[in-house]
Structure 1
Amino acid sequence: MRPHLLLLLALCGAGSAAGARSYSLRGRWTVRSGNGSLELPGQVPGCVHSALLQQGLIQDPYYRFNDLNYRWISLDNWTYSKKFEIPFDFSKWQKVNLIFEGVDTVSKVLFNEVTIGETDNMFSTYGFDVSGLVGAANSVELRFQSAVLAAAQRSRAHAGPPPLPACPPREQKGECHVNFLRKEQCSFSWDWGPSFPTQGIWKDVRIEAYNICHLNYFTFSPVYDNGTKEWHLEIQSSFDVVSSKPVGGQVTVAIPKLQTQWTYKIELQPGERIVELSVKINENITVETWWPHGHGNQTGYNMTILFELDGGLNIEKSAKVYFRTVELIQEPIKGSPGLSFYFKINGFPIFLKGSNWVPADSFQDRVTSDVLRLLLQSVVDANMNTLRVWGGGIYEQDEFYELCDELGIMVWQDFMFACALYPTDQGFIDSVRAEVAYQIRRLKSHPSVIIWGGNNENEAALSMDWYHINFTYLQTYMDDYVTLYVKNIREIVLAGDKSRPFIPSSPTNGAETIAEHWISKNPNSKYFGDVHFYDYISDCWNWKIFPKARFASEYGYQSWPSFSTLEKVSSKEDWSFNSKFALHRQHHANGNNQMLNQARFHFKLPESTDPLREFKDTIYLTQVTQAQCVKTETEFYLRSRSEIVEQQGHTMGALYWQLNDIWQAPSWASLEYGGKWKMLHYFARHFFAPLLPVGFEDQSVFYVYVVSDLHSSQTVALTVRVHAWSSLQPRCERVSPGVEAGAGRAVRAFAEPVEALLRCAGCSRERCLLSFHLSAGRERVGPLNYHFLSSPKDAVGLRKANITAIISQEGGTFIFDLHTSAVAPFVWLDVGSIPGRFSDNGFLMTEERRRVLFYPWKRTSKSELEQSFHVTSLRDIY
């Protein structure tokens, strides 16, 4: 397969252009309710909910039951308006445009009381020519229609069999027909999020005035010649030429560190014009490539592009160039039917390890730079290298992708279609085509984006008949699916971006899906593509329930967020696992019971007579259970990367569901709303480590695999210890001194019958457990791992541990020196609402002393930490 090769340009800013002026309309607007009874100031970018909150007219929408109490906001038709004067002489400009970067969602636009157009796609930009309307004093008005009412109206007007599903499950307390709108699909509710169908101007809005011609956008595609090994950069620029005569000039592209400078003559005819350029990179210079986190540096090169045109018009852009290649390898595997499904970056096979990203807030104006950096820093701090931007949310803001470029986070980018069938009338298709073309132009400059995905789970929904479709209509739905994702979205992707692969859905069978005419009989096949897997009934400690698939792009288990997070949006009567609040906040059918049923397999449920203590202990136990479940499943995928067992394996990706929370509620997330790490996220930091020992049992034999993400082999020692629950001293030790950790491989390093280990320790399963780690010389490399020989609920000799901490400070970091009186599993250190993270948490304490660091995210003090500090281990909840 020829690799997809990428030379990337990320815009950093623009120089001034002699022929253009821009005036931002950000800031204060007037927001008015449908009948005019309510008028208030509102910020742009922003939404109606935020405007009402900022004026004190509503409480926090996330507080208690406010998602239901404030449903009236989304059902009203609001108007945004602004009066302004242009701070330059508009009469001197040949063309004046009104530009909206993002409108949410259905609106009629008026300029100086004249209707100039409409909007109906949250994910597209809109530009309106107001040259004949603009004056010294101006007004702009957007008359929004309720997204809920607009969706219902479009559903009623739809001809033919209706797209499905119509309404979310009742547990989600949501709204219907969101698939008729090009709007954030989860804003009508999801099984982890509330229903807040927002209205507003959610991105920038501005006036642009220009003479002669204007650069609308420029984007680019890479070209790589395998024969000559030369890089080229194809730049596509779009101009609006308002001159009545052709405009000539030249463009100069310079990348100083690569000793590349190139000048090309151009001539632009009147009207909308596309200019395509090809820049050859100096072949005598060594180019450093961009690598994902954990695999190398994120090297980029400064670049300038200067258009010098007739009339003294100069347009200069500064940019950053990145080089990297991406290949999606689908080829036969020896000993197995089907095809591989893995990624090569810069020619190196990389195991994608990470999670799935959902919108960070229902109200996008609250997702600041600080919020994004905190969440994405937590991704790399947990040794992840990939996020899948899930198709039911939004195409994230520019800064999200810039941070992913900077931090080395690969992005699997879905288009925004999820868990539904969609209309294919011409108006809808035209809107989607404009959306997709715009998003490709916007995002393909980022090295972080490695694949386009057509949708989330819609191939599986059709193939596996999730919606119980009337057979009479089945072919229509299948034809509509191919029309939307293949004949339109895929066509636009292939035309606009040949630098990275496209798959029509997730899960999908990849090349096999194409062979089956785009809808596979089993899109969750273990022999092709990627899989989504959820099983809340079976015991998650039994690794044999998990699919030995090529790539696991979704899997997970729920837990509740910490009490300090819930406390902010609840009151005392809510603090019970069976309260109305707890049931209301759970949007997944039977989710609260599923968490407890999973916990019962291996743990005793909390037994406190104090209701608040029992609630806090139950929250703790759900986090323990989630962390242990996802750990078991992820380690199974990690150790399956290099082997074929019963024709299955060669797993090369593990992206658990989900990374982040949109509000304070039970979910599959490992980061709570606000960024606090759940126990799962601390576990992820271990199980995604570059060098990891993975232990498991099969037919009463204990095995350890060494999993390496390193680019070179390393010789390490493996130590396996048997511990008694009743003692802080290990009872038995096995050392394998010369283990070869193969580069990018999982290799078996240890195998011994459990009975032999127990005899060595003079122990029984119920009285003992195992720990194991890798070392090089005297230094431990990678995390300490462990294996339970029986369920902790059956542990004999497990005593209540008295754990104390002495807190000290070095610079901006706090040191917790811990002491325990007994072996303590799942030790959880909590400092309440003080923002920050520990170096480790949720750990097994088998030694008397342990040092843990705390990294605060805001200024705090030793005394504040001492007052807020609380420690819990498993025996404490009995």
Structure 2
Amino acid sequence: MKLGILISRFCLIFCFFLVNSSLESFNKKYIIFDGIDTFSDIYLNKKLIGSTNNMFVRYTFSVEEFLKYQEEENVLEVIIKSPIRMANQFFNDYSNKIPPFCVPKEYNGECHVNYLRKMQSSFGWDWGPAFPSVGIWKSVRIVMFQDNLLEDIKTETIAANTSHWLLKTDIYIQCFESISNAKFKLALNTKKSIISIEQNCCNDICVKNEMHTGVELYVPKTDINTWWPNGYGEQPLYSLSIELETKNDIQSKTISIGFRTAELIQEQIDKNDPKLGLSFYFKINGVPIFAKGSNYIPANIFPENMNDENVINNLLTAAKQVDMNTIRVWGGGVYESDVFYKICDKLGIMVWQDMMFACNMYPAHQQFLETVEVEIKQQIRRLQYHPSIILWAGNNENEAALRGNWYGTRNNYSMFASDYITLYVNTIKKIVIEEDKTRNFLVSSPTNGLKSEEENYIAENPYSALYGDVHYYNYEVNSWSSIFFPWTRFASEYGLQSLPAYQTLQKAFDINDLITFPSPALIHRQHQPLGYGFMLYQIEINLPVPPKPTISDYVYLSQIVQARAMRIQTEWYRKHRNTLLKDGRGLTMGALYWQLNDVWQAPTWSSIDYDQRWKMLHYSASDFFSPIIIVPELEISNNLTIYAVSDSLADLEVIFNVEIYSWKSNIPLTTYISDTILLVSNALVISYLLNFNTCKKNNSAQLILNENYFNWLNAITQKCGQSKDQQIRSCFLHTKLYYNNINMTEASPSNYLFPSTFNKIIGYETPNISVTRIWQEKKNQINVKLESTGIGLFVWLNVTQTDGNFNENGFIMLNKTKTVKYMSNKDISLKQFNLEIEYLRTKFI
């Protein structure tokens, strides 16, 4: 096959191929395009065989009348139209103008993408460039068969009773004539044997080229192991094979499935007081799961490069490595590749799956709805069998946008509300419920869930803390202060920008663009309105800034601010999983920060930059997403609170200690050691407090210390100063949980309470931190030994390599020496290992 591409005012993709004459005997011959972006006319040997208008739809066209055989060359031409021109044409032709009419000017983007069924972020977003792509972004294949085509498989696993699972399987056949006397065989390869069933099938009429049949199979629970999210158990997958034998054909298809149940629980907090709202959390196999994770944008801004298995595997493995169990596939990108979901299945990463509608109003005319119907039906059938997918959601932020008048819809609210319900409720929700009865569907995110449905799907306040999920961003207040955080049921988005690694920037910018901050080139890549202003504000209120900071300084400082902000906020959500305020707020059961990955070298909210380098945030996530954490906080009331949080399914006995340090020395002034504490099983996490005057003693998120900070501190040590201001600025706390056993095994990562911002601490002398030894531990591991003359703050080890990570980084160094490990995905030598070290300085010469 020879391929060519011509681009002018349109894109012409053409290829030449031969077909062996032995294939001419097949009755049916079709060409299948799994993905064309977006508007195209397709010709085979100068004959129009079909057109496309939706990037997310699989198109199938008959070619049996047009194919040539043997030595005659076939010419396939795909003429793709400009999406920019098509968007403008639809906008001009459609009588009801659909806002927003363009992206913000900072995006440097294009307008009216909401009229098109293509990746919405391709016209520009706050985290990425505007590349309105065109082309064939998925596979193209010619299929030949005699009768009909076995196409999609859906499954449902039901815990039928104490001894058996019920496996329901639905098979979809693309048919061209009625089938009779066909045989259908299903075989499940369990850990003990192959369980199979064979039956006659398909004595049905072919309607609109589609036929459907199903089969049920009871599977002994002893023959399989249950699929669990990361951190709760293993992820066994079992091969399920389908074979369809018709008069002239035998076709087969094999998928991998997991046995699990998944529920989204929305129940009244108090049946006697509905004003307290509804719960919102996931139950997997009957166990409440606190969703820990991030939001996923496409792995590349160019659709044809999004499906790189190595990149996807690296990103999702990095998520698992820091104890994430959930990824939200955001609605402004694409329905991800089969590879993506297979890796999520394997790693135990639960998927919250948005439909591809985001931050826009959308048309609701018949032509638009018809292509959406095909899109949703195809995508549900393609993805439904994956155990990792636990939720479908209709759109990103469109309920909030409509109710909040983000795009000037108030004057014609009734029309936009009607269009909203027509698209997301009457069309998308209807199809999802018909196609998949195993999962819940949310119309939007954020949303009030069932409460939004009660209010005709557009809640009065989609950001209510008493229902559903919340997106929270506030750059105008100190992101390290919890007083502004929402007491939400589920935080599905929250974030803060940082710059990527300097080495990552170097690959995209001329050296002259990296001298001053922000340079015109850096401003061009900052798509968040006022983004650098917010970034500098967050840095300056919390950290000491050199008098003449370099871009490398801003990279380092912005990553400290981001990492610390996300840690404080995530720990806030995790520690309040059992907290219920009198007005009904609290009981948070999910924390998905924005965002995991990047599509270019720019300031964004990501924790992993474009070159796959972990930012300080991602290293910090390994602490704040750890299965067991300790969370100290100095509240605005001057109360010192310490929480212990456990994801364990077993009851745990722990103790905690608090070391009090002066900024003058890395030797603690004194140590406080607690009595034994019982952390109950996470399986009991949703045990609601129906009587607010009753304090529950034991929880999986438990308040283990609650004292006036100054009284508590003065009772233990007098060495932090006399005044409250001195005590705030002179000392800090180091906390850790230990199992109550003979060896006092560490149960949690270290955590710290810094009462003062770092630009106001007193008594601190910046230490000298040096590398005293580097040695090769294994072919893919290098160890680094550090030595410090004092307390090292946010010690950052920087290497040029992008194929590995340290076991910890961006850490607080209290001990005189410390050894860290660099682990690579491939063999590495000392000669390749170029190391730089950075740490926070509070005084500058």
| Same fold flag (TM > 0.5) | yes
Q: Which residue of 1 aligns with 2:791?
A: 823
CA distance in 2, matches of 1:146, 1:299: 45
CA separation in 2, counterparts of 1:302 and 1:139? Answer: 39
Native 8 Å contact 1:79 1:142 kept in 2: yes
Q: CA deviation at 1:402?
A: 0.4
CA positional deviation for 1:182: 0.4
Match of 1:642 in 2: 578
> Structure 1 223/864 Cα, relative in aligned 2: closer, same or farther at 3 Å?
closer
Once the two structures are overlaid, the 10-residue window that deviates more, 422-431 or 285-294, is: 285-294
One-letter identity of the residue aligned with 1:306: E
Unaligned runs of 5+ in 1: 1-24, 35-75
Q: C-alpha displacement at 1:673, in angstroms?
A: 0.6
CA distance in 2, matches of 1:199, 1:801: 54
What is the deviation of 1:741? 1.9
Give the aligned residue type for 1:372. I
Tell whether the 8 Å contact from 1:725 to 1:823 is kept in structure 2 after alignment: yes
Q: Structure 1 stretch 346-355 or stretch 260-269: which is displaced more?
A: 260-269
Inter-partner Cα distance in structure 2 for 1:267 and 1:679? 57
**TM-fit CA distance, 1:242:** 5.1
1:654 alignment partner, one of 587, 591, 602: 591
Measure, in 1, the Cα distance between the counterparts of 2:761 and 2:44: 73
The AA in structure 2 aligned to 1:145 is K
1:171 to 106, 116, 134: 106
3-state DSSP of counterpart to 2:533: helix
**Matches of 2:821 and 2:76 in 1, distance apart?**
54
In structure 2, which of residues 280, 291, 310 is the aligned counterpart of residue 341 of structure 1? 280
Matched, 1:476 2:415: yes
1:547 equivalent in structure 2: 486
Q: Is the 8 A contact 1:550 1:653 kept in 2?
A: yes
Q: Runs of at least 4 residues of structure 1 off by over 4 A?
A: 222-230, 267-271
Q: Structure 2: any 5+ residue segments left out of the alignment?
A: 683-699, 721-726
Mapped to 2, the partners of 1:466 and 1:296 lie a distance apart of: 43
TM-score normalised according to structure 1 size: 0.89
> What amino acid sits opposite 1:723 in the alignment?
Y
Could you say which residue in structure 2 is the equivalent of 1:803?
Answer: 769
> For residues 417 and 511 of structure 1, what CA distance do their matches in structure 2 show?
20
Deviation at 1:758, TM superposition (A): 3.7
Once the two structures are superposed, what CA deviation does each residue of 1:823-876 show, in whole Å capped at 9, x if it has no partner? 1111111113443211111111111111111112344322332x4433333447
Is 1:356 paired with 2:295?
A: yes
Distance 1:106 1:180 in 2: 12
In structure 2, C-alpha distance between the alignment counterparts of 1:186 and 1:675, rounded to whole Å: 21
Assess, with a 3 A threshold, how the Cα gap between structure 1 residues 285 and 845 changes in structure 2: closer, same or farther: closer
Structure 2 counterparts to residues 43-58 of structure 1, below 5 A:
none
Whether 1:771 and 2:734 are equivalent positions in the alignment is yes
Kindly indicate whether the alpha-carbon contact (under 8 Å) linking 1:830 and 1:869 is maintained by their aligned counterparts in 2.
yes
AA aligned to 1:350 is I
1:241: Cα distance to partner? 4.4
Structure 2 match to 1:37: none
- Give the C-alpha shift of residue 747 in structure 1: 0.3
**Cα distance, 1:230 vs structure 2:** 4.7
Residue 131 (structure 1) aligned with residue 131 (structure 2): no
Q: Percent identity?
A: 37
Q: Which residue of structure 2 aligns with residue 212 of structure 1?
A: 147
Find out whether 1:536 has 2:472 as its counterpart: no
Work out which of the residue numbers 27, 34, 43 in structure 2 matches 1:110: 43
Q: For 1:147-158, what aligned pairs fall within 5 Å after superposition?
A: 147-158=83-94
1 CA distance for matches of 2:43 and 2:828?
50
Counterpart Cα distance in 2 of 1:737 and 1:190: 52
Q: Is the Cα contact below 8 Å between 1:339 and 1:527 reproduced in 2?
A: yes
Alpha-carbon distance, 1:247 to partner: 4.9
**Quick check: 84-93 or 288-297, which moved more?**
84-93
Rounded Cα–Cα distance in structure 2 between residues aligned with 1:303 and 1:261: 10
1:839 to 798, 803, 807: 807
**Preserved CA contact (<8 Å) 2:153 2:169:** no
Q: 3-state DSSP class of the match of 1:323? A: coil
Query: After superposition, where does 1:265-664 map in structure 2 within 5 Å?
Result: 265-268=200-203, 271=206, 272-283=209-220, 285=222, 287-311=224-248, 313-334=249-270, 337-367=276-306, 368-471=308-411, 473-575=412-514, 576-608=516-548, 614-647=550-583, 648-664=585-601
1:544-599 per-residue CA deviation (whole Å, 9 max, x = no partner) reads 10110100001111111110100000012211222101211100011001011112
Distance 1:321 1:642 in 2: 33
Quote the residue 2:707 is aligned against: 752
- The answer to whether the aligner puts 1:30 opposite 2:4 as a matched pair is yes
Displacement of 1:505 in angstroms is: 0.1
Q: 1:657-676 counterparts in 2 under 5 A?
A: 657-676=594-613
Per-residue deviation, residues 606-631 of structure 1 (Å, max 9, x unmatched): 223xxxx6211111111101111111
Alpha-carbon distance in structure 1 between the residues aligned to 2:568 and 2:205: 63
Which stretch has the larger CA shift, 851-860 or 76-85? 851-860
Distance 1:478 1:767 in 2: 56
Could you report, residue by residue, the CA deviation over 1:63-102 in whole angstroms, capped at 9, with x for unpaired residues? Answer: xxxxxxxxxxxxx311001111113534211111011000
TM-score using structure 2 length:
0.92
Partners of 2:157 and 2:260 within 8 A in 1: no
Bigger drift between 801-810 and 619-628 goes to: 801-810
> 1:280 offset after TM fit, Å?
2.0
Query: 1:767, 1:795 within 8 Å by CA — same for their partners in 2?
Result: yes
Q: CA deviation at 1:164?
A: 1.1
1:792 alignment partner, SS class: coil
Q: SS of 1:416's equivalent?
A: coil
1:295 Cα shift?
A: 0.5
Q: How many angstroms does 1:251 deviate by?
A: 2.6
Match of 1:99 among 20, 32, 45: 32
Counterpart of 1:771 in 2: which secondary structure? strand
What residue is the counterpart of 2:690 in the other structure?
A: none
Q: Confirm or deny that 1:720 pairs with 2:720.
A: no
Distance 1:233 1:663 in 2: 43
Asked if the contact 2:612/2:802 (under 8 Å) is kept, the reply is no
Q: Distance in 2 between matches of 1:733 and 1:803?
A: 25
- Per the TM alignment, residue 475 of structure 1 is displaced from its structure 2 partner at its CA by 0.4
Contact 2:205 2:211 in 1 (8 A): no
Residue 284 to residue 831, structure 1, CA distance change in 2 (3 Å): closer
Higher mean C-alpha deviation, range 822-831 or range 519-528: 822-831
CA distance in 2, matches of 1:415, 1:877: 51
Distance 1:758 1:550 in 2: 34
Q: In structure 2, give the amino acid aligned to 1:147.
A: P
Please tell me whether the aligned partners of residues 340 and 550 of structure 1 are also in contact (alpha carbons under 8 angstroms).
yes
Deviations 1:220-260 (A, max 9, x none): 344554699651313223142458x8453343434453653
How far, CA to CA, are the matches of 1:30 and 1:804 in structure 2?
56
1:388-438 deviation per Cα after TM superposition (whole angstroms, max 9, x unaligned): 000000001110000000000000000000000001111110000000000
Please report the RMSD computed on the Cα atoms of aligned residues, expressed in angstroms.
Answer: 1.9
Question: What is the deviation of 1:310?
Answer: 2.3
CA distance in 2, matches of 1:696, 1:669: 26
Q: Does the 8 Å CA contact 2:544/2:842 hold for their aligned counterparts?
A: no
**Once the 2 structures are TM-superposed, how far is the Cα of residue 787 of structure 1 from its aligned partner?**
0.7
Structure-1 separation of matches of 2:177 and 2:830 = 65
Closer, same or farther in 2 for the Cα pair 1:773/1:786, shift >3 Å? same
Q: Is the 8 A contact 2:202 2:211 kept in 1?
A: no
One-letter amino acid of the structure 2 residue matched with residue 121 of structure 1:
N
Question: Would you say the 8 A contact 1:617–1:877 is kept in 2?
Answer: no
Answer whether contact 1:94 1:242 (CA < 8 A) is retained. Answer: no
Q: Give, as a single letter, the amino acid of the residue that structure 2 aligns with 1:734.
A: Y
Picking from 244, 248, 254, the partner of 2:182 is 248
Decide which of 256, 260, 264 is 2:199's aligned counterpart.
264
Matched residues in 2 for 1:365 and 1:143: separation?
A: 17
Cross-structure match for 2:687: none
- Give the residue type in structure 2 aligned to 1:277: G
Contact conserved, 2:738 with 2:744, CA < 8 A, in 1?
A: yes
| Structure 2 residue corresponding to 1:786, chosen from 747, 752, 761 | 752
Range with bigger deviation, 80-89 or 324-333 = 80-89
Letter in 2 for 1:842: G
